Structure formats: structure tokens, C-alpha cells
Amino acid sequence: MKKITKQKMILLIAGLLLVLLVMHPQIVLLDGDHTIDSELALFIVPDIEKCYSNANDGLYMKDGKDDFSHEQNLMIFDNRNVLIMGCGHAGVVNILEKAVAYKPEVCVGGYHLWNAINKKSASDELLEDIATELAKYSINYYTCHCTGQKAYDYLSRQLPNMSYLSCGDSVEI
């Protein structure tokens, strides 16, 4: 009988767990936009060209540069419509252009304008373009870590409705 290495056993167990997880009735794999119920909707943003942040240039998938088409944004419909967008790799401007159909009043997420690899922020020109686009909406913006301090400082000077969230902060909506 052939002996199975610890590494192969771990891979085998992980594969079996993944198969069981995918087959679980409460797990739904999605492709594209999805309305969960009257209070929740998920959507993706396939077009990422407008106000593109070069902070994304170092992010890859198995088959090449990441296009972020797999990243989901969450709309919560309650007393106020809230957009949750994670790190916003698709670009806050592109995400908002698609989210406008849901009428968000609050936007929470990072804008991914800080490149942690080369320690550089987005250019002032890009920040100005983003500020111009965000000013078109009557939305309260809450951004966080991957926006970067320089970008946040610039945007918050242009947009009085922009606030910064640190880990552990809370916002009453």
C-alpha cells in the first residue's frame, strides 16, 4: 500500500470540503447580479476603466491581471439605502455609476487608491477626477484603509460628506 504524504492528505481533505460546501443547499454560487430579497442585492461591475487606480496594477488572478469581475458589492435597502463595496477595486466611480439605479444614500468601502507594494498614492489628477464624479451624488461617503491617507485627505477637502472609518469604528445610519 502506497503511503500518502501529509501535504497530499491536506489537499484531499480540502477538496472534499470544497465539494461538500458547494453542494450545501444554503450555498449559492453566483454569476453576475443577484437580488437576495427585498432588503439585499448583490451586483458586480464589469467596466473598470473610468478613474482607474494604478494601485490595482499589482493584483493578479491565476490566469493574469485581475479584472475584478468576481467582486461583489452589496446594497442594503432600509430606512436609507446603503452601498457596501469592500476595497472597491472596480473603482468607486464605476461602482457608483452602476449603483445609482439602487439610489444609495450612504457608501461604505475602500477606494483602493493606495498601492501598498510601491507605497504610492493615486495622482492628484486622478483624485480630482474622482472628487468631481463623487460630487455629482448626494451620498454620505465612508472610506477606509485602502484609500490611503493622502487620497482621503484630498477627497475630504473636496467633499464635505466624506468621513474615514478605522477598524472598530461604527456608523449609525
Q: With respect to residue 19, please indicate whether it lies within any of the assigned structural domains.
A: no
pTM beyond 0.85: no
* Residues 141, 94: Cα–Cα separation, whole Å: 15
Could you tell me the CATH number of the domain that includes residue 155? 3.60.15.10
The per-residue pLDDT for range 104-151, each reduced to its tens digit, is 999 999 999 998 889 999 999 999 999 999 999 999 999 998 899 999
> What are the angstrom distances between the C-alpha of 166 and each of 116, 150, 169?
17, 15, 6
Domain membership flag for residue 66: yes
Domain annotation covers residue 149: yes
Mean pLDDT of all residues in the chain?
Answer: 90
Residue 16 in domain: no
Contacts of 11 (CB under 8 A, 6+ apart): none
pLDDT score at 42: 95
How many domains would you assign to the chain?
Answer: 1
Q: Which of 2-11, 53-62, 120-129 has the highest mean pLDDT?
A: 120-129
138 occurs within a structural domain: yes
**10 SS3 class:** helix
